Amino acid sequence: MSFFLAIDAGGTKTDFVLVNETETLARHRTGTIKRLRADAETALRNLEDGLASLTEASGVSMSDVSRTCVGTAGETVPLVADFLRSSINERVAGELLLLGDVEIALDAAFQGGAGVLVLAGTGSNVAGRTPSGVRSTTGGWGPMLSDQGSGHAVGTRALRSIFLAIDEGRQTALQDAVMEFWQLDSVKALVEHANRSPVPDVSKLTRLVLRCAEQGDAVAREVLRAEGEQLAYLVRLLVRRLRVQQNEPAFVPTIAFAGSIMEHVPPVRESLVRAVQKEFPSVETLDGVVDPIDGAVWRARDEHAFRARQAAK
């Protein structure tokens, strides 16, 4: 019997799943193993905790694994990729596939087929595949360069909107909500905290923005609407590109979603869909969100079949 390991290495958490050819044997969640988000000691401890928990729950040794598929943002960044390759290869047998988080999410939705996947959580990314198997992405360049519609982008825009509102003489509940969350007693303290180094994790402000928006705060609503539209622009760019790559001017792929923002922050998703529909009125979207780890499981099990399918196209 063959065993396969799937890992979804996110910015704040890591999901591990161990399967055989037909069934799931064990699951476990730890903190992040992504070196951009944790030091080497913490990341390694989380990795070892995940692997040990799978073995304990299933009785399967990591030396018996045939193939591992890891999905993570920043898979082309040496700090991330080198750590994952070396750390996993030292502890797990078999072939290692290191893919982008949006790629495994795309396969969770479409299993090698055509479609577009919008992933927005702590970060964001958009990936699509044509019916002929050509894959392309937009965004995903990290928090300082892109990550539109992500928790980081929502938190950053919220802070900037607070201070724009101060300059405009407008009131917003966001100001008090953020100051209470960070336990600050003045605007001056908020300025100092937001500009400190290392910078605070602004993605954690997303729940405050959503709460204020649901209570009717105009500034909070505008933050979520704007981030949805920013992410929609990347989707529209990608659909145009996929049309050219497929040489089908009328091709409109189905859109699927993944990530905590797409699941738990409806105004961002709704704003995105409205903005995409303005250019592509016939676009269809899948309900709910996909779990990227399912794509990693599928690729770990079926990588040879996937490669053969791609080669045949």
This prediction's pTM: 0.85
Distance CA(91)–CA(32), nearest Å, equals 17
- Whether the per-residue pLDDT at 109 is higher than 70: the answer is yes
Q: Please write the tens of the pLDDT for every residue from 195-239.
A: 999 889 999 999 999 999 999 999 999 999 999 999 999 999 999
pLDDT of residue 190: 98
Distance CA(186)–CA(277), nearest Å, equals 43
Mean pLDDT of the region 238-243: 98
Q: Please write the tens of the pLDDT for every residue from 49-100.
A: 999 999 999 999 999 999 999 999 877 788 889 999 999 999 999 999 999 8
Q: Give me the domains of the chain, ranges plus CATH numbers.
A: 3-93 (3.30.420.40), 102-288 (3.30.420.40)
What's the token pair of residue 220?
């909070």
pLDDT of residue 169: 97
Helix (H, G, I), strand (E, B) or coil at 132: coil
- Whether the per-residue pLDDT at 122 is higher than 90: the answer is no
Distance CA(249)–CA(33), nearest Å, equals 41
